[in-house]
Amino acid sequence: MDILKVLGLFIVTALAEIIGCYLPYLWLKQGRSAWLLLPAAASLAAFAWLLSLHPQAAGRTYAAYGGVYIGVAIVWLWAVESIRPSLTDWIGVSVSLLGMLIIVFGPRHA
């Protein structure tokens, strides 16, 4: 699987997880309808399925996914919650993505 497809899959996976967690947040913290739990459950099920599509070992996939998730979460903060990320948010995203790149492209021992 080429790197752009994996990155795209990571981004879609992160969105499924964020949506699956954000909808219950709306219900619990903002008094929205409990019906939001149905699409939340479907989104979290999609998240689990999407993680299974990655070609690497599960642990390595989850570790690398974490860096992308952090970046997508900060973009979500800005785009959906209308909160502008701080400089330290962006620095944290950069450090996380650097860690993800080290995991993905680091040498492997047999």
Which tokens sit at 26? 């709306």
If one counts every other C-beta atom within 10 angstroms of the C-beta of residue 90, the result is 12
| Number of structural domains in the chain | 1
Identify the pLDDT of residue 110: 65
Measured in whole angstroms, the distance separating CA 41 from the mean position of its chain's CA atoms is 16
* Band (54; pLDDT cuts 50, 70, 90): confident
Residue 110 lies in a domain: no
Q: What is the pTM of this model?
A: 0.85
Residue 59 lies in a domain: yes
For residue 70, give the nearest of 3, 8, 6, 18 by alpha carbon: 18
Identify the pLDDT of residue 76: 96
Residue 50 lies in a domain: yes
Instruction: Quote the percentage of the chain above a pLDDT of 90.
Output: 65
Residue 39 lies in a domain: yes
Please state, rounded to an integer, the average pLDDT across all residues of the chain.
91
State which residues form the domain around 84: 3-105
